[in-house]
Amino acid sequence: MPARPDHGPPTRIADLDTPRLLLDRERLERNALAMRERCARLGVRLRPHLKTAKSLDVARIAAGGERLGVTVSTLREAEHFARAGARDILYATAIAPNKLARAAALQQETGCDLLLVTDSIETVRRAGAFASGAGVELSFLIEVDCGEHRSGLPPADPAVVEVARAIHAAPALRLRGIMTHAGHSYGTDDSGSVTLLAAAERDAAVSAADAVRAAGLPCETVSVGSTPTVLLADHLTGVTEVRAGVYMFWDLAQLSRGMCRQDEIAVSVLASVIGHNRAGRSLVLDAGALALSKDLGANRYLPDAGFGYVCDPVTLERLGSLSVGAVHQEHGTVTLDDEAWFSRLPVGSLVRVLPNHACLTCAAYDAYDVVRGDAVVDRWARVNGW
């Protein structure tokens, strides 16, 4: 069976229009396997975070044939995965009260076990009233802050136990556990610091869970995670599951922090050279701010990352030291260190750009063109939006 029946026999990369989002299947499979092995060594369950991939096909590869629970960042992702058969879903963004009815409807429609998150007594009050009135049951994890200072209660704050009591006391709510996220582990390129952050993440979640249990309340789930802390934790005793997502694809931000090798990065943007700006000694690509995103997170530790490394369209090796240095909405500018690039990359040439931040870049596309070497073997849909 041809992989892309609407296009006849399998396509080559050179047959694709641009810009396109390419996903290297072999790299993805290796990345997914490595994380499953890492979690097996840690003795902890992996609940892959699908906010980067937003794809059922990628979720299946992340699971490696097992029936894993998944993590999502939006209710639209939850709906997508639940309708495809996912039975155990953690929606890891604190739920807005206006989304309670939609979450309950998804549970009822699909029978999935949907774990919600909050750090707010007000959300618990509204969820309790809503669920009682609607005759449904909603499950909650309490979010604690392990140092990122984005969201979540401080783990030693008496409010953790107060929120836990309020959930447990509401007849239509179920207290399921504690979650935290060491997103600040992206803020360093020092592996020893990440190991310390992983310990702090673990201790925040475990100590909050201990406090909840000491109050006589249930706390079956203790959920932590970010790709760096899962990779570099010394141990995860007391943790029941980890969440990680960007490891499936990697990106220049993770490369810049020493979390991956360049030849592990599985996503890239296929672009065309659409102009030679000889006066400015630059190439113009048809991949700009929308195709690449305006995220510059890699540049803190990789000052030549720009908006992405410019690579060979087939080997994915970087072309010299070329980067996308500036973007407009549909234009990317690649400043050249050598005019010889004008003859090496004539107008019409294809390049692949390794993204700064996979989560942001992928969000501009409704599908991946899946490649094995030079062959385009599949096309996988993404579920964007909310």
According to the binding rule CB under 8 A, does residue 99 interact with its own copies?
A: yes
According to the binding rule CB under 8 A, does residue 364 interact with its own copies?
A: yes
Structure tokens at 305: 């990352």
How far apart, in Å, are the Cα atoms of 142 and each of 130, 165, 312? 18, 11, 46
Residue number, 18 or 262, with CB nearest to its own copies:
18
The minimum distance between CB 217 and its own copies, in angstroms, equals 21
According to the binding rule CB under 8 A, does residue 261 interact with its own copies?
A: no
Residue number, 88 or 330, with CB nearest to its own copies:
330
Which one of the spans 25-33, 226-234, 257-265, 342-350 is the region binding its own copies (CB under 8 A)? Answer: 342-350
Those residues with Cβ within 8 angstroms of residue 177's Cβ, 6 or more apart along the chain or in another chain? 141, 142, 209, 219, 220, 221, 222, 223, 240
Q: Helical H runs in 138-292?
A: 158-169, 191-214, 227-232, 252-256, 289-292
Q: Per CB under 8 A, which of residues 128..157 are in contact with its own copies?
A: 143, 145, 149-152, 154, 157
According to the binding rule CB under 8 A, does residue 97 interact with its own copies?
A: yes
Total Cβ atoms within 10 A of residue 73: 18
Which residue of 39, 359, 370, 376 would you call a contact of its own copies, by CB under 8 A?
A: 359
Cα 56 to its chain centre, rounded Å, is 13
The minimum distance between CB 198 and its own copies, in angstroms, equals 19
Task: Please list the helix, strand and coil fractions of the chain in percent, rounded to the nearest 5, in that order.
Answer: 40, 25, 40
The minimum distance between CB 157 and its own copies, in angstroms, equals 8
According to the binding rule CB under 8 A, does residue 381 interact with its own copies?
A: no
Q: Per CB under 8 A, which of residues 192..231 are in contact with its own copies?
A: none
According to the binding rule CB under 8 A, does residue 325 interact with its own copies?
A: no
Structure tokens at 46: 């992996």
Which residue of 105, 217, 289, 381 would you call a contact of its own copies, by CB under 8 A?
A: 289
Structure tokens at 55: 């794809």
* C-alpha atoms less than 13 angstroms from C-alpha of 86 in its C-beta half-sphere: 28
The minimum distance between CB 334 and its own copies, in angstroms, equals 12
Which residue of 290, 314, 377, 381 would you call a contact of its own copies, by CB under 8 A?
A: 290
How far apart, in Å, are the Cα atoms of 365 and each of 20, 26, 181, 219? 8, 21, 27, 39
According to the binding rule CB under 8 A, does residue 264 interact with its own copies?
A: no
Pick from 293, 384, 382, 283: nearest CA to 341: 283
341/384 Cα distance (integer angstroms)? 36
Q: Per CB under 8 A, which of residues 53..92 are in contact with its own copies?
A: 73-74
196/212 Cα distance (integer angstroms)? 24
Residue number, 40 or 347, with CB nearest to its own copies:
347
According to the binding rule CB under 8 A, does residue 51 interact with its own copies?
A: yes
Residue number, 42 or 89, with CB nearest to its own copies:
89
According to the binding rule CB under 8 A, does residue 384 interact with its own copies?
A: yes
According to the binding rule CB under 8 A, does residue 347 interact with its own copies?
A: yes
Pick from 157, 126, 131: nearest CA to 143: 157
Helix crossing, 56-63 with 75-83: angle to 10°? 70
Residue number, 177 or 288, with CB nearest to its own copies:
288
According to the binding rule CB under 8 A, does residue 16 interact with its own copies?
A: yes
Confirm if 384 and 73 have CB atoms less than 8 A apart: no
**Site residues (vs its own copies, CB under 8 A):** 16-20, 51, 73-74, 93-99, 102, 118-120, 122-123, 126, 143, 145, 149-152, 154, 157, 183, 272-277, 279-280, 284, 286, 289-291, 293-295, 326, 328-331, 333, 346-348, 350, 359-360, 363-366, 384-386
